[in-house]
Structure 1
Amino acid sequence: MFNPIFTALNAMPRIALAPLFIIWFGLGLGSKVAVGFSLTFFIVLTSTVAGGRGVNPDHTTLAHTLGASESQIFRKFVLPSAVPVIFNGLRLGLVFALLGVIGAEIFASEHGLGQTLSVLAASFKTDGVFGIIFLLSMIGVGISWGMTSLENRLLRWR
Structure 2
Amino acid sequence: MAGLTLAAFPTVDVMLNPIVSGLNSIPRVALAPLFILWFGIGIESKTIAGINLVFFILLITTRSGLKNADPDLLVRSRMMCANTTQTFVKVVLPISLPSIFSGLQLAVIYSLLGVVVAKMIASQNGLGVIVAQYTQTFAINETFSVLLILGALSTSLVASVAAAERYVLRWQSA
Structure 1-normalised TM-score?
0.96
Gaps of 5+ in 2: 1-14
- Which of residues 108, 113, 121 in structure 2 aligns to 1:94? 108
Aligned to 2:67: 53
How far is the alpha carbon of 1:48 from its aligned partner? 0.4
How far is the alpha carbon of 1:123 from its aligned partner? 2.1
Aligned to 1:149: 163
Task: Give the Cα–Cα distance (whole angstroms) in 1 for the partners of residues 136 and 107 of structure 2.
Answer: 29
Q: What do residues 1-26 of structure 1 show as CA deviations (whole Å, max 9, x unaligned)?
A: 22121111111111111110000111
Q: What do residues 40-79 of structure 1 show as CA deviations (whole Å, max 9, x unaligned)?
A: 0100111101111111000101111221111111011000
Task: Give the Cα–Cα distance (whole angstroms) in 1 for the partners of residues 167 and 94 of structure 2.
Answer: 14
- Equivalent residue letter for 2:120: I
| Number of residue-to-residue matches in the alignment | 158
Point out the more displaced range, 115-124 or 42-51. 115-124
Alignment RMSD: 1.0
- Which structure 1 residue ranges, 4+ long, deviate > 2 Å from structure 2? none
Contact 1:63 1:73 in 2 (8 A): yes
Contact 1:27 1:110 in 2 (8 A): no
How far is the alpha carbon of 1:89 from its aligned partner? 0.3
Aligned to 1:39: 53
How far is the alpha carbon of 1:103 from its aligned partner? 1.1
SS at match of 2:171: coil
Structure 2-normalised TM-score?
0.87
How far is the alpha carbon of 1:150 from its aligned partner? 1.2
Task: Give the Cα–Cα distance (whole angstroms) in 2 for the partners of residues 50 and 36 of structure 1.
Answer: 22
Aligned to 1:83: 97
- Which of residues 76, 81, 92 in structure 2 aligns to 1:67? 81
Gaps of 5+ in 1: none
Task: Give the Cα–Cα distance (whole angstroms) in 2 for the partners of residues 130 and 64 of structure 1.
Answer: 56
Do structure 1's residue 23 and structure 2's residue 37 form an aligned pair? yes
Do structure 1's residue 2 and structure 2's residue 10 form an aligned pair? no
Do structure 1's residue 14 and structure 2's residue 41 form an aligned pair? no
Contact 1:55 1:78 in 2 (8 A): yes
SS at match of 1:157: helix
